[in-house]
Amino acid sequence: MKRREEFPPEQQLERMPIKNDDTILDIGAGTGFLTIPAAKRTNGMVYALDIDPDMLQIVDSKATNDGLENVRTIQGEMKDVPLSANSIDIVIASLVLHEIKPLSETLQFINQVLKGKGYLACVEIEAEENSNQHYPRISSSQMEQELKKAGFEVNKKFYPTDSNYVLIAQKQY
């Protein structure tokens, strides 16, 4: 609830270049925090990817309760996604990429499923300089470098909260 108040998913999605027929992949979908509102913004299919089947059951339940027929759940990791190359308009990765090793490999898989000039919306918590953080984080500057190496160009960068950053990157090749 605190996250929803601090950073409402609908507000977050408004800043993404979602069109009404876009196909979306939500990586690390969890309970559908962004999946469900995204499915309400597009007539296209919204895929919720997560490694936890219990989370995906929650997504399915929410989609059913909201009468959404454009949500499909996929259990697994990005490398296991059974989606065709060049089939997704927008990939959303909210608070998940800092957990993935190696990041470069996952970004290549994302690039592969995205259509030409498709978008990746990356939401993360800024790593604090000289901090003794005991949890993985990736700074926005480091993420920008990783995205560039993977064939993306960052078009938009903003800080919706004091600690969160959002990068909207477009596939270049």
Domain boundaries, the chain: 2-171
d(CA 45, CA 23): 5
pLDDT of 28: 95
Q: Which helix (H) or strand (E) holds 120?
A: strand 114-125
In 155-165, which positions are buried (b, 16+ CB within 10 angstroms) versus exposed (e)? eeeeeeeeebb
d(CA 35, CA 49): 10
Q: Which residues, including other chains, have CB under 8 Å from residue 36's CB and lie 6 or more apart?
A: 9, 59, 62, 63, 66, 68, 71
d(CA 144, CA 142): 5
| 130 pLDDT above the threshold of 60 | no
Q: Which residue, among 38, 32, 36, has the nearest Cα to 16 in the 3D structure?
A: 38
d(CA 91, CA 69): 19
Q: Is the pTM of this model over 0.85?
A: yes
CATH code of the domain occupying 2-171: 3.40.50.150
d(CA 104, CA 149): 8
Q: How confident is the model at residue 157 (pLDDT cuts 50, 70, 90)?
A: very high
pLDDT of 119: 98
| pLDDT digits 0-9 by tens, 20-73 | 999 999 999 999 999 999 999 999 999 999 999 999 999 999 999 999 999 999
User: Residue 117: left (phi > 0), alpha (psi -120 to 50), or beta?
Assistant: left
Q: What is the mean pLDDT of residues 8-30?
A: 94
